[in-house]
Amino acid sequence: MPGSEWGTAAEQRFNVNLSILFTELPLLERPAAAAAAGFTAVELWWPWIDSPTPEHSELDALRKAVQDAGVRLTGLNFYAGHLPGPDRGALSVPGEESERFRANIDVAADFARSLDCTALNALYGNRIDGVDPARQDALALENLVLAARAADRIGAILLIEALNQPESPHYPLVSAPAAVRVVDQVNEASGLGNARFLMDLYHLSMNGEDLPQVIAEYADRTGHVQIADNPGRGAPGTGSLPLEDLLGRLRKHGYDGWVGLEYKPGDRPSAEAFDWLPAEARAAR
């Protein structure tokens, strides 16, 4: 991208989400692939979609793959069901799914700590037919407080994310204000103050939100940022979102954290989906 200023600011730090990029490779090969593409940091959705408590051997193998690749794990989702897919979280779903989330809390936190990962993301969960939304919200707050305590135990923050209404019609947090209200509720209930907003610019744009205004209002409450272009959820430059400008606005409003690349590579190998970002900007400073 000629004349691009991507990554020229010292505080611009990009990582690669290995649950949406490099998925043409087996999980254990993805950290090395990200490193070969020039990145020094990665993030992950919970990789074991059918198991909140995988065997120690599986955890050990992924830990070794990350360590051997020489990359840092900077973000990890708690168990959230089948992603990508219809579940969109488990913590507000009464019954078995909520219990699976609780069983995962310490497993995920301990795995994150073993790799010096300092951000854990908890997807809220869909509304369920026949269940009072107030009951789901009470259960969500209870479980999010447990997650906040586990994150605090390992020196991490708890992230709460807004998704988008068109793709996640049963997910209740489909605006920045809705997600930030939950952040406030968790911080008040836990007394820890370690819950933060995960600002995914793709999801917010799909909701039709005023992104410059969202940034101005919530940059100081934001613990992580994720990007993809819109339409299409592709790499920057494949759609019409002014992502370079938006990240510049985030920096001006004081955000100096990670920017997760959470986009689809399209009909090409993931390794070829980073041509928009200069090689020197891929390594975290």
Catalytic residue among 11, 161, 167, 280: 161
124 three-class SS: strand
**pLDDT surpassing 80 at residue 205:** yes
Q: Are strands 119-121 and 41-44 parallel, antiparallel or unpaired?
A: unpaired
What confidence tens digit (pLDDT) does each residue in 221-249 have? 999 999 999 999 999 999 999 999 999 99
The pLDDT-based confidence of 3 (bands split at 50, 70, 90) is very low
| Domains, the chain, with CATH or none | 13-275 (3.20.20.150)
Helix, strand, or coil (residue 38): coil
Average pLDDT, the chain: 95
Say whether 188 is catalytic: no
Of all residues in the chain, the percent with pLDDT exceeding 70 is 96
pLDDT digits (tens, 9 = 90+) for 82-106: 888 888 999 999 999 999 999 999 9
Question: Could you tell me the pTM of the whole model?
Answer: 0.96
262 given a catalytic annotation: yes
- Encoded amino acid at 224, one letter: H
Reported for 4-8, long-range contacts at CB under 8 A and 24+ positions apart, including other chains, are 4/244, 4/276, 4/278, 5/244, 5/248, 6/236, 6/244, 6/276, 6/277, 6/278, 6/281, 7/277, 7/278, 7/280, 7/281, 7/282, 8/281
> Do 143 and 106 contact (CB within 8 A), yes or no?
no
41 with 71: CB under 8 angstroms?
yes
Catalytic residue among 43, 97, 209, 262: 262
DSSP 281: G
Q: Would you state the structure tokens that stand for residue 241, as one six-digit string?
A: 């979102």
- The pLDDT value recorded for residue 9 is 45
